[in-house]
């Protein structure tokens, strides 16, 4: 059997508390050994493939629990092939795709069809999050057992908050029996009321409708209450307000099985960036996302929550949109930006800024998200899947429209100086992205 050896690198694997020079031996799609330099098992034999990781860092393949692949129905924006190519280029080996597609992933046959497309065209592992309510309308529960049988790996109504507390409570208790994590987009639509920015000085100054922080925080409070009563496990998506973070911290202290994620854009930007980027045609629509960018104090609270363990995962909310859709002006353009190809350097930037240490940064992109959703990923322990990201932390680069793997271009980080990039991405021991090959 052909082996792949990743030699000479600095291995950082927080799942094992490991940071040091190690040789990585992959065979049969699994990690065969992770050993000290010079160990006999890591000596190249005839037929081995050797990847030189001299001067590079070797980490478990990155895990993104919040991605929009836009398939079925919006493959002009993305699709399984392009979305997973972007993932591989960003160092990700497992992504969880959201159900707000056309049609919505609320029926077993739609999930089955998508799983077929994934089996044929995906470059990395894809876990399908099915809709927990019919049509994502939050009124009537989907047939969760049938969705699980069709291969759904998680449940979510992402894109919307689940209006009915009874429906969400049911998903929590039935999801627990089925082994499916419940991912929640916390938004009370009566409070957000069509706002396109965070309500406050910036929205007022731009004359655009805002949504108050309570649209998220009130819903987080409700959902934590449901969790306490219904049981199961709750994962809160893309938290953006200081109050939500405080609620989750308190819930965790009280022992509730809740996890949460933050996006690179909520960690790196705030509402002042919307104002700074506003031209005569209004603000840059690549700064329109839901939840909207918060106040500086919200961002600060998120950064503290990253460091103290309240936040379990950095997830991108990778949300491709065609150029024409984002060109409609701030009020009408759809919410969301790309994330897969820039998450790694943006996260490493938080280490350089002194927000988190390196081990924590890697954990937030690997074992953190994997554990939050109960996925068998995010570790290089012997026997684990041979999913690996080999990265050059010192590589300075800029994302350009010509090199984006995603089918869309909607990111505020286009052309911005970035530091750190995946050089090789391996899934099941197979190289699915090589920077050398694309140079
Ligand atoms: Zn969402």
386-408 pLDDT, tens digit each: 999 999 999 999 999 999 999 99
SS3 319: coil
61-373 and 3-58+385-438 share a CATH fold: no
Residues with Cβ < 8 Å from 129, sequence gap 6 or more? 96, 97, 98, 99, 105, 152, 153, 154, 155, 156, 158, 183
User: CA 394, CA 257: separation in Å to the nearest integer?
Assistant: 37
Tokens 């629509």 sit at which residue? Answer: 285
Residue 2: both structure tokens together: 């052909």
**Distance of CA 51 from the midpoint of ligand 1 (Å):** 38
pLDDT score at 436: 80
Q: What is the dihedral of CA 131, 135, 138, 144, to 10 degrees?
A: -40
283 within 8 A of 272, measured Cβ to Cβ: no
Q: Measure CA 426 to chain center.
A: 18
236 CA → ligand 1 middle, Å: 10
CA of 241 to the centre of ligand 1 (A): 14
Name the residue among 185, 154, 109, 111 with its Cα closest to residue 374. Answer: 154
State in Å: Cα 195 to ligand 1 middle. Answer: 15
Q: Which of 106, 317, 387, 392 is catalytic?
A: 317
The Å distance, Cα 352 to ligand 1 centre, comes to 28
Query: 437 pLDDT band (50/70/90 cuts)?
Result: low
Helix, strand, coil % over all residues of the chain, rounded to 5: 35, 25, 40
CA of 237 to the centre of ligand 1 (A): 6
Q: Tell me, what's the pLDDT at 235?
A: 98
The answer to whether residue 382 scores a pLDDT higher than 60 is yes
| Token pair listed for 167 | 């429906």
Q: What values do phi and psi take at 391, rounded to 5?
A: -130, 155
Give 241's Cβ-side CA count (13 Å radius).
Answer: 22
Q: What residues pair up with 259 in beta bridges, in sequence order?
A: 235
Please enumerate, as own/partner, the contacts of 359-362 that have beta carbons within 8 Å and a separation of 24 or more: 359/12, 359/14, 359/19, 360/14, 360/306, 360/307, 362/12, 362/13, 362/14, 362/59, 362/60
Active site annotation includes 312 = no
Give the β-pairing of 388-397 and 418-427: antiparallel
In angstroms, the CA 191 to CA 218 distance is 9
Token pair 């049609």 in the structure block, residue: 103
Structure token pair of residue 397: 């680069």
DSSP letter string over 30-72? Answer: EEEEEE-TT-GGGS--TT-EEEE-TT-EEEEPEEEEEE---TT
Q: Report the DSSP beta bridge partners of residue 141.
A: 133
* pLDDT tier at 353, thresholds 50, 70, 90: very high
Instruction: Please give the Cα distance from 186 to 163 (Å, whole number).
Output: 10
Distance CA 374, CA 103 (A): 27
Question: Which residue from 245, 252, 261, 260 is spatially nearest to 228, judged by alpha carbons?
Answer: 252
Q: What pLDDT does 267 receive?
A: 98
pLDDT tens, position by position, 277-304: 888 888 999 999 999 999 999 999 999 9
pLDDT of 90:
98
**Does residue 438 register a pLDDT over 70?**
no
Rg (CA), the chain: 21
Answer yes or no: is pLDDT of 253 > 70.
Answer: yes
CA of 158 to the centre of ligand 1 (A): 5
- Looking at residue 229, what is its pLDDT? 95
CA dihedral 73, 286, 392, 64 (to 10 degrees): -40
Q: pLDDT value at position 399?
A: 97
Contact 435, 423 (CB under 8 A): yes
Write down the CATH superfamily of domain 3-58+385-438: Urease, subunit C, domain 1 (2.30.40.10)
Instruction: Retrieve residue 152's tokens.
Output: 């759904």
Answer CATH for 61-373 from 3.40.630.10, 3.90.320.10, 3.50.50.60, 3.20.20.140: 3.20.20.140
Q: pLDDT by residue (tens digit) across 129-157?
A: 999 999 999 999 999 999 999 999 999 99
**For residue 151, what pLDDT is reported?**
98
**How does pLDDT run across 230-246, given as a tens digit for each residue?**
999 999 999 999 999 99
Q: Give residue limits of the domains in the chain.
A: 3-58+385-438, 61-373
Give tens-digit pLDDT for 65-110. 999 999 999 999 999 999 999 999 999 999 999 999 999 999 999 9
C-alpha distances out from residue 67 to 41, 63, 105, 282, 380, Å? 38, 10, 14, 28, 23
- Residue 271, H or E segment: helix 271-276
What is the distance, to the nearest Å, from the Cα of residue 156 to the centroid of all Cα atoms in its chain? 14
Q: What mean pLDDT value characterizes the chain?
A: 97
159 C-alpha vs ligand 1 centroid, how far in Å? 4
Please check the confidence at residue 26 and state whether its pLDDT lies above 80: yes
The residues that bridge with 19 in the sheet, in sequence order, are: 12
């Amino acid at each position: 059997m052909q082996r792949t050896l990743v030699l000479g690198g600095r291995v950082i694997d927080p799942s094992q508390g490991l940071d040091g020079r190690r040789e990585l031996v992959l065979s049969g799609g699994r990690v065969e050994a992770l050993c000290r330099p010079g160990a006999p098992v890591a000596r190249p034999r005839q037929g081995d493939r050797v990847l030189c990781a001299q001067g590079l860092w070797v980490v478990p393949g990155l895990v993104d629990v919040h991605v929009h692949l836009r398939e079925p129905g919006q493959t002009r924006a993305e699709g399984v092939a392009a979305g997973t190519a972007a993932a591989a280029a960003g160092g990700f080996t497992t992504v969880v795709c959201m159900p707000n597609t056309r049609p919505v992933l609320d029926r077993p046959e739609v999930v089955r069809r998508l799983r077929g497309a994934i089996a044929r065209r995906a470059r990395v592992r894809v876990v399908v999050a099915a809709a927990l309510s019919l049509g994502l309308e939050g009124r009537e529960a989907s047939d969760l057992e049938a969705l699980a049988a069709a291969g759904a790996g998680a449940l979510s109504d992402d894109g919307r908050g689940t209006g009915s507390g009874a429906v969400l409570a049911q998903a929590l208790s039935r999801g627990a029996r089925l082994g499916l994590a419940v991912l929640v987009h916390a938004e009370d639509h009566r409070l957000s009321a069509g706002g396109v920015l965070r309500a406050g000085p910036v929205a007022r100054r731009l004359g655009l409708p805002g949504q108050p922080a309570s649209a998220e925080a009130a819903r987080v409070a409700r959902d934590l209450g449901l969790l306490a009563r219904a049981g199961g496990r709750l994962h809160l998506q893309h938290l953006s307000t200081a109050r939500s973070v405080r609620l989750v911290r308190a819930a965790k202290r009280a022992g509730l099985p809740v996890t949460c994620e933050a996006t690179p854009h909520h960690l790196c930007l705030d509402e002042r960036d919307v104002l700074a980027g506003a031209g005569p045609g209004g603000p840059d629509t690549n700064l329109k996302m839901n939840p909207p960018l918060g106040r500086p104090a919200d961002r600060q609270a998120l950064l503290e929550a990253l460091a103290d363990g309240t936040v379990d995962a950095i997830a991108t909310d990778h949300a491709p949109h065609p150029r024409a859709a984002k060109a409609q002006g701030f009020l009408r353009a759809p919410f969301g930006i790309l994330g897969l190809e820039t998450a790694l350097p943006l996260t490493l930037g938080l280490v350089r800024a002194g927000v988190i240490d390196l081990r924590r940064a890697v954990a937030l992109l690997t074992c953190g998200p994997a554990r939050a959703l109960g996925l068998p990923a995010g570790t290089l322990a012997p026997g684990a899947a041979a999913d690996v990201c080999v990265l050059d932390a010192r590589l300075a680069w800029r994302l350009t429209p010509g090199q984006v793997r995603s089918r869309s271009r909607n990111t505020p980080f286009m052309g911005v100086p970035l530091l750190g990039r995946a050089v090789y991405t391996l899934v099941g021991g197979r190289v699915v992205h090589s920077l050398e090959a694309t140079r």
